[in-house]
Amino acid sequence: MRVSSRVSRRAALGLAAAVPLAAATSTAAPSAYAATTIGGERLGRTGIQVRGVSGLPKRLTARAWVVADHDSGQVLAAFNAHRRLAPASTLKMLFADTVLKKFERTEKHRVTDADLAGIPAGSSLVGVKPGITYTVEQLWQGVFLRSGNDAVHVLSHMNGGVAVTVAEMQAKAADLQALDTHVISPDGFDHKGQLSSAYDLTLFARHGLGDADFRAYCATKTADFPAGGKKTFQIQNTDRLLTGAWGVETYDGLIGVKNGYTSNAGNTFTGAATRDGRTLLVTVMHPKSGGSGVYEETAQLLDWGFKNAANAVPVGTLVDPLSEGGASATPTQKAAKAAAGAQSGASGDGSSWGPLGGAGGAVALLAGGAFVLRNRRRKAADDAADGRHRR
């Protein structure tokens, strides 16, 4: 993919706005495992964190998960909450948090070939075609229902370009205090170094659900999508807990939010459900079981949460955004030492954005600071903790 040596005025303004915000927080760089004690000291630990209640599902295989109360922000239980893993398309929640309010739902855009250039091979697509005019609402339906990277690219170009959007996403993550997250691309596709955590994904979902459009899109089961002229075709939401596809039982009270899968990340999912006036958030990352395992483990954790929320002693909290008065967290000494010498240990499939990879990576580095990945010794400890948990 070719990248113009000139940056549009809109792109330049976007970069100018995004980079200082994130750069200002770059001193709070993640350690090889956890960024800081964001959300509470216990959330920075490995292994299961739960207090006051028992009865957690016994056959969980996920490498990380979080159960939290949406309204209070209390984390009821967690496992490796700040472990940094490939997020897959759940990263689109951050994309929506960043871009969704910039365009009116009724605004129209005629797609060009340039809008669709550089989409990674093997991407999930909704079927956006050049020459067809789409409303912003239809493009967001493509993002939320079909996880369409083509729709993400079009919206990113409307926003000033992929590099600008990546920088703004990193700045948004910094404002949300999601410091485990390192953005390389806006769509969540496999890229070396693109990471998040169960804690951060839960933050993205909580923030997004506060917006009526975000909430409506992630709860939509089907929609009619333009096929050219007056023709349309139906698209279905790939969230199996919402639709009951592939033999998965729909979850009573589910209101979203986003699933994801890549060959590198495996399955990831953040789900939200409401029962008896209480809304819970559950994020599950990288379970061993394939197919519908991520939904099954999410449903088990939601069941546990609704049963035990009233008696559980919180092990942490989902912090508020800095822009909304949230208190800024500071790195622990342990995190600072790890940050000084840790090396990148992220796995990936080697895919990149070509020349844009360097541009996007450089922008993300400016926007997010020097992010540090898992080192070999910490990875061994993490795997040992996983082994103790899987029973």
What are the residue numbers of the active site?
89, 92, 147
Length of the chain: 391
Nearest C-alpha neighbor of 109 from the set 131, 141, 124: 131
Nearest C-alpha neighbor of 55 from the set 388, 290, 387, 311: 311
Per-residue exposure over 93-122, b if at least 16 CB sit within 10 Å of its own CB, e if not = bbbbbbbbeebeeeeebebeeebbebbbee
Q: Please name the amino acid found at residue 37.
A: T
Residue ranges of the alpha helices (H) in 60-129? 92-99
> 391: how many CB neighbours lie within 10 A of its CB?
7
Do 319 and 38 meet the contact criterion of CB atoms below 8 Å apart?
yes
Sign, CA dihedral 250-252-254-260, equals negative
What is the distance, to the nearest Å, from the Cα of residue 280 to the centroid of all Cα atoms in its chain?
17
Which residues, other chains included, contact 198 with Cβ-Cβ below 8 Å and sequence gap of 6+?
A: 64, 65, 66, 78, 79, 80, 81, 82, 83, 85, 283, 284, 285
- Taking the C-alpha atoms of residue 325 and residue 193, their distance in angstroms, rounded to an integer, is 30
- Taking the C-alpha atoms of residue 325 and residue 320, their distance in angstroms, rounded to an integer, is 7
DSSP 8-class letter at 195 = B
Residue 289, φ and ψ in degrees, nearest 5: -70, 135
- Taking the C-alpha atoms of residue 206 and residue 254, their distance in angstroms, rounded to an integer, is 14
> 173: how many CB neighbours lie within 10 A of its CB?
28
Do 180 and 195 meet the contact criterion of CB atoms below 8 Å apart?
yes
